[in-house]
Structure 1
Amino acid sequence: MSDEHDTDHVSALTAMQRQATVAVLDGLSPSDWDRPTPCEGWTVAHLVAHMSMSFRVGMPKLVFTMIRERGNFDRAADRLARDDVARMDHADLVAALRNNISTAWSPPRGDLVDALCHDVVHGLDLTEGLGRPTTATAEQLDLVLRTMRTKNRMDYFGADLAGHALQASDLDFRIGHGDTLVLPATTIVLVLTGRGSVHDHLGG
C-alpha cells in the first residue's frame, strides 16, 4: 500500500464512515427501515444487515451459503441479509455495526481500500434510500472513485458510460471518453457501481 493509501489513514477514513452511518441509523423511525434502497430488492434493514455481515458471519456459514447458492456471492449475500433481518431486531443490527466501527476487514481478494469503498458505497445506498445528504467526505469519495478507476471495478458492476466521460463537479476526477457529463461525485459513484445510468442524466 502506497503512502497515498497509508494503512492507518485508510482505516481512520473507514471508521469515520461507519460512525457517520451509525449516527444516521440511530435517528431512524420504524418506517424508515422499510424504505427501498438503490440495492435492488433491499430495504434499509437488508442493507444494514449486509453492512455488518463480515463481522457476524463466519467463514463456514458463508461457504455453506455460497454452496447453496451455487457459488454466486450476490445471491449468498442476499440470502444472509434476509435471514438476518428475519431474526434480528433493528437495535441489534445497529449494534453489530456500532461495535465494529474500528474493526479492520478486507473483502475477499481485496484490501483496506476496498473495505473503505464497501462502506462508502453502502453509506450512499443508505442516504439515497432515505432521501438524505451523503455522509461521505470529499476525501472518501475521491479515494473511492480513484480506486474504481484504477482497479476497473466498473466491469464487476456492469457499468456502461455509453460513450461519455464523467467529470465530477465537486472533485478533481474524470473517467471515460467522449462527450462530457458534469455530475456530483456521489452521482458518479452511483453510476459506476450500477446504481444509476448515464442515460438518466442526459438532457433532452
Structure 2
Amino acid sequence: MADRAAVLADLAAEGDALDAVVAHLEDTAWRTPTPAEGWTVADSISHLEWTDRQTLRALTDPDGFAAAVAAFADRVDTIVDDEARAGAATEPAGLLHRWRTGRTAVSEALAAVRDDERIPWFGPPMKASSMATARLMETWAHGIDVTDALGLPPTASDRLRHVAHLGVRTRDFAFLQRGQTPPAEPFRVELTSPGGDVWSWGPEDAAQRVTGPALDFCLRVTRRRHRADLALAATGAEADRWLDLAQAFAGPPGAEREPREGA
C-alpha cells in the first residue's frame, strides 16, 4: 500500500470531492433524506465533522479523548445519531466551514505523528496511516449516501484502492462481528480499478476467490449496496459467505440496503 503522505493526499482529495458536491447546495437540499435510514445530507456531513473532531482530540489530547470515550459509555448506542443530528441542526454554511477546518486539522496532525505511534480510538489503537485510511473510507462511504440522495453517480477514482485494501484486511473482523469463526484458508481478491488496472490481494492459487469491479467491492464492504446490485463473483463457499457479511467499518453493520428496482 501507499505511504502515509500518499494516503493523506488521497484523503484530502476525497474530502474535496465530497465538498464539491455539497458546497453550493441550497439550504433545503441539505435536508434531503439519504438511503441511511433517518439521516439527511446534513447528518452525513455532520457525522464526518464530529468524527474528525474526535480524531483530532485523540491525536492531540489522548487523556481528554479517553475521558470523552468514558463519558460516551452510557449512550454508546445513540451517540453517533445524536451527534450527527445536533450538528445537522445548525446552519449549513457553519457546518460546512467546521467540516473543512476539521478535516484540514486532522490531516496536518496525522502528518506529524511518529511512524511507531499508535493513536487511541473507540476500538483498537491505530497507526497514522491506518487512521488516515479509515477516515478516507468513511468520507467516501458517507459521500455515497450524499450522492445517492441527490441522484448523482457515485464518486469512483483510484483512491478506492485504500477502501478496497481496508475491506480485504477486515475480512476476519466481518465474521467475528456476527459471532462466526473466520475461515482459516487465504482468499484471493482481484478487482478492476476505475482506471482499468487489476488490484489483487492473496495467493494466486487460493481456492476462495472474489472478483469484480473495485467500485462494486467498495460499495459492498461499506454496505452501501445490496449484493444483488453488484457485479461481484465469489468462488468457494467461504468467499460467498464473506460477501454477505463484508464490513470495512467498526461498529454494528446497520440495516442491509434493499436491492434496487430491477436488480
Q: RCO (CA 8 Å, sep 6+): is it higher in 1 or 2? A: 1
- Alignment of 1:79 onto 2:82: yes
Residues 147 and 49 (structure 1 numbering): CA distance in 2 closer, same or farther, change over 3 Å?
same
Counterpart selection for 2:134 from 114, 134, 140? 114
* Mapping for residues 72-151 of structure 1, pairs under 5 Å: 72=77, 75-86=78-89, 88-102=90-104, 103-104=106-107, 108=121, 109-110=125-126, 111-138=131-158, 140-151=159-170
In the TM superposition, residue 94 of structure 1 has moved relative to its aligned partner by 0.6
Change beyond 3 A, Cα 1:113–1:26? same
Q: Check conservation: 1:157, 1:193, Cα contact below 8 A.
A: no
Distance 2:2 2:101 in 1: 25
Contact 1:157–1:192 under 8 Å retained in 2: no
Larger radius of gyration: 2
Q: Give how far 1:54 is off.
A: 2.7
Amino acid at match of 1:38: P
**Contact persistence 1:5–1:113 (CA under 8 A):** no
Matched, 1:29 2:26: yes
Number of residues paired by the alignment?
Answer: 187
Paired with 1:116 and 1:137, the residues of 2 have a C-alpha distance of: 12
| Superposition TM-score, scaled by structure 1 size | 0.74
Equivalents in 2 of 1:20, 1:29: separation in Å? Answer: 18
How far residue 51 of structure 1 moved from its aligned partner, in angstroms, is 0.8
TM-score, with length taken from structure 2? 0.59
Percent identity (aligned): 26
CA displacement at 1:127 relative to structure 2: 1.5
Any unmatched runs of 5+ in structure 1?
A: 159-164
AA matched with 2:224: R
Gaps of 5+ in 2: 58-64, 111-118, 179-188, 202-206, 232-261
